Structure 1
Amino acid sequence: MSCAQARETALRVLAEVDAPPDLAEGVLLVVTELVSNARRHAGGVTGFDVFSRDGLFTVAVSDRSMRSPHLQPQAPRLPGGFGWRLVKTLAPGTFIRFHRGGKTVIAPSPHPRPRPERCPVPPVAVRKTARTRPWPLDRHSAPAAIRGGRFRRPPTG
């Protein structure tokens, strides 16, 4: 499977779930990176799956290698070495399952929750009462801050 074929498959699934553009862009980057890494470092892609379930958009790429991907030290002047970091940034829950035929890298990306439209909140009715304070002000029932704390009135007289 080529990167272009994998991206086309992912685009179809993204369109089915009406994914927002920022999610689609991130998923397509993850798909491209995982497929190209499987082709370049692990003997080719042996399985590819992309699906949306339970609020996650998941990409799974299998290959023949038993070697786990690892972070390369950052070297901005050298080519390569940033793909796994990119995948882990865009899909932080990425994990690897090893099996007899190699491994599968599974990269779930959460769907952003749609924000509910804001609706105006009706004003709360205020009930008028005879008492203007929420508690009676005497020395036994007033809060401690008022009773003997920092809000003490200066003596008069």
Structure 2
Amino acid sequence: MKALTVDLDGTAGCPRRARAAASAYLEQLAARRPAAGADARRAVLLAVSELVTNAVRHAPGPLTLVLTAPEGAVGITVSDTSPLPPRPRRGDLAGQGGGFGWTSVQRLSLRSHVVTRHDGKDVHVLLPW
């Protein structure tokens, strides 16, 4: 299946737009190749939401979401303008919330890695499908 590329402007509505685009992509993928597990779709949408939300919060400016469908998996790449890699941190239950996203994405993923560039980074994760 062809990759999906979504260019986003970095504003607060980006996570919602990214989830909607990812949901449509996953519907097409499921019609061709059903997911192996019942929670695969939810896991991919959660990862998309967390990665895009992190980019909006921590990297000024535009970002790009790319979804791919290698055999047995869904690849997610979010490219943004900050060269700083995501880092796990203790979740904030009492204050503004947050701190759970990157850890959650890593737990859901088969693998993850970050490629830094002079003008930002690419966060790559692979989730089971």
Q: Which bracket does the TM-score occupy, shorter chain normalised?
A: 0.7 to 0.9
The answer for unaligned runs of 5 or more in structure 2 is 1-7, 9-13
> 90-99 or 33-42, which moves further after superposition?
90-99
* CA shift for structure 1 position 75: 5.0
Whole-Å separation in 2 of the counterparts to 1:46 and 1:75: 26
1:64 aligns with 2:81: yes
Mapping of 1:1-157 within 5 angstroms?
A: 1=8, 2-18=14-30, 19-20=34-35, 21-74=38-91, 76-78=93-95, 79-111=97-129
Superposition TM-score, scaled by structure 1 size: 0.64
Residue-by-residue CA offset, 1:98-130 (whole Å, 9 max, x unaligned): 12321010111022xxxxxxxxxxxxxxxxxxx
Task: Name the residue aligned to 1:118.
Answer: none
Residue-by-residue CA offset, 1:117-144 (whole Å, 9 max, x unaligned): xxxxxxxxxxxxxxxxxxxxxxxxxxxx
Whole-Å separation in 2 of the counterparts to 1:35 and 1:109: 16
* CA shift for structure 1 position 74: 4.6
The SS at the match of 2:125 is strand
Larger proportion of strand? 2
Whole-Å separation in 1 of the counterparts to 2:65 and 2:91: 29
Superposition TM-score, scaled by structure 2 size: 0.77
Aligned residues: 111
The answer for unaligned runs of 5 or more in structure 1 is 112-157
Q: Given the superposition, is the C-alpha separation of residues 77 and 7 from structure 1 closer, same or farther in structure 2, using an over 3 Å criterion?
A: same
Structure of larger gyration radius:
1
Pairwise CA RMSD: 1.7
Whole-Å separation in 2 of the counterparts to 1:39 and 1:45: 8
Larger proportion of helix? 2
Match of 1:50, as an amino acid? Answer: L
* CA shift for structure 1 position 55: 1.9
Whole-Å separation in 1 of the counterparts to 2:62 and 2:20: 16
The SS at the match of 1:17 is helix
